[in-house]
Amino acid sequence: MDRIDLFRIFARVVECASFTRAADTLGMPRSSVSAAVQELEGRVGARLLHRTTRVVSPTQDGSAFYERCLHLITDVEETENIFRQSTAPAGRLRVDVPGRIGRLIIAPALPVFLDEYPEIDVDLGVTDRAVNLIEESVDCVLRVGSLADSGLIARSIGELQLINVASPTYVKRQGMPETPDDLRNHLAVNYASPSSGRVEAWEWGENGVLRSTPMRGRVTVNSAEAYIACCLAGLGLIQIPAYDVRRHIEAGELVEVMPDYRAEPMPMTLLYPHRQHLSRRLQVFADWLESLLKRELLSCEP
């Protein structure tokens, strides 16, 4: 087997932490993947992977070799593509984005992208669950919020401004909160993380310090759609990205409260695997998406 193919197979096994999953994503028999790794270990004269019945992980030598493999794969792909830069990017992209951003921002703008790049097709996943790029063969995902160290390539898009809002009905009934001290007399629509079930505390910045407090609430939801709907129904205060409620504020259906005590902005990040960061279709899509989100989201202030 060609040496660079051995490097690619080894890198995929490390990323998938499994011979079986790596074989599935590569479209190869598991036995061929295992044989390729064994051949590579024989060539370099070192054990590269710890193998157990449940998981495969790189040894200390394997971790160092994995990083070198990524650089070598990048160099080879760049060399292979050096004379192709004049051709139009083509192929299929599998993208996953948060629900409301996908529905409200990206889907309506996609015709412009597809008209500009007629040879690119897009599979748009619109979901708030955590997607495993390698196992699900997804080219890139847009994540909102802080990230764990995933070993993926991260491209920062910017920060999403959060604001505090309530319905006029709620304010008329409960009064207008002016400072965090007033929150003890108010209700929130509580938001539970879809992945962990943990209810988020109410947060705000004060004199450069991030503070938080649990809020009383009679309703707890686990989706942005329900979060906004319950706020519109007058069930409590919410903290929400400004773009998400822009139209409701313009229509007078919601009002901002405590503008001087907002939560910290949430970072937006585009993630994609090492193996695909030179794909031209992925590059042009990432550039287009960054421009779109900065124009439609990051400039949103009520």
| CATH code at position 137 | 3.40.190.10
- Shared domain for 276 and 244, answered yes or no, is no
> What does the block give as tokens for 127?
């979901």
Question: 27 lies in a domain?
Answer: yes
CA 199 – CA 196 distance, rounded (Å):
9
- Shared domain for 140 and 183, answered yes or no, is no
Number of domains in the chain: 3
Q: What is the CATH number of the domain that holds 40?
A: 1.10.10.10
CA 132 – CA 152 distance, rounded (Å):
11
Encode the chain (302 residues) as per-residue pLDDT tens digits.
788 889 989 988 888 888 988 888 888 999 999 999 999 999 999 999 998 777 888 898 998 898 888 778 777 766 766 665 556 787 888 898 988 899 989 999 999 999 999 988 998 988 776 666 666 677 888 888 877 656 677 888 888 889 999 999 999 999 999 999 999 999 999 998 877 778 889 999 888 889 999 999 999 998 889 999 999 999 999 999 998 898 999 999 999 999 999 999 989 998 887 654 457 888 899 999 999 998 887 655 55
Burial of 54 (0-12, 13-18, 19+ CB in 10 A): exposed
pLDDT at site 227 = 95
What are the distances in angstroms from CA 105 to CA 59, 90, 198, 283?
A: 43, 23, 27, 19
- Shared domain for 155 and 215, answered yes or no, is no
- Shared domain for 132 and 67, answered yes or no, is no
- Shared domain for 155 and 282, answered yes or no, is yes
- Shared domain for 148 and 170, answered yes or no, is no
28-33-39-41 Cα dihedral, nearest 10 degrees = 150
Q: Phi/psi of residue 107, each to 5°?
A: -55, -45
- Shared domain for 288 and 141, answered yes or no, is yes
Work out whether the CA dihedral 121, 126, 24, 148 comes out positive or negative: positive
Question: 155 lies in a domain?
Answer: yes
Question: 302 lies in a domain?
Answer: no
- Shared domain for 45 and 11, answered yes or no, is yes
pLDDT at site 135 = 64
CA 197 – CA 16 distance, rounded (Å):
26
pLDDT at site 25 = 83
Q: Which domain holds residue 239?
A: 162-256
- Shared domain for 200 and 142, answered yes or no, is no
What are the distances in angstroms from CA 2 to CA 5, 39, 160?
A: 5, 11, 45
114-118-120-122 Cα dihedral, nearest 10 degrees = 30
